[in-house]
Amino acid sequence: MIACAAVWPAAAKTRISDRRRLSFVNLHTDESLDVIYWADGSYEPGALRQIDHFLRDFRSGDVHRIDPQLLDLLVQLRARLHTTAPIHVISGYRSPATNAMLASYSDGVASGSLHMDGMAIDIRLPTRALRQVQRVALDLEAGGVGYYPRSDFVHVDTGRVRHWS
């Protein structure tokens, strides 16, 4: 087991329990995952591997380690939004090749995206308004928050605190 705990300025506002569970639906692969990735004070390596595979680059199949702090951020986000609904995933990990391809088509894709480091995810929570998800993510002060209403998703990452629309 891997022992670690993330601490953010707003983290004290919402207590993370002794068991941390996440539920996902991948909108590109139609896969779903419901997993307890933290229990008894430690990250669960098997559960982390399941999440790494689930959040793989759906275009290439490449798998990369997902930052556990990103998972903790998602738990905090759901708790603050008072929902246990599955997180709908638009994009998790992106290989450098996929990211370069996407960046060549869109100004909205950063050439040095944290998706390539397993530190970013693009999501929506169908039980909550997109603006509400964005506002709560901003309030957590846990990293970057991008708001993409035309594409119907919010980007969250564990990089430096910043935001954009």
- For residue 16, what pLDDT band results from cuts at 50, 70 and 90? low
Domains and CATH numbers, the chain: 11-164 (3.30.1380.10)
* Residue 51 one-letter amino acid: I
Each residue's pLDDT tens digit, 35-73: 999 999 999 999 999 999 999 999 999 999 999 999 999
Q: From CA 33, how far away is CA 51, in angstroms rounded? A: 8
Contact of 158 with 119, CB cutoff 8 Å: yes
- For residue 7, what pLDDT band results from cuts at 50, 70 and 90? very low
Each residue's pLDDT tens digit, 137-149: 999 999 999 999 9
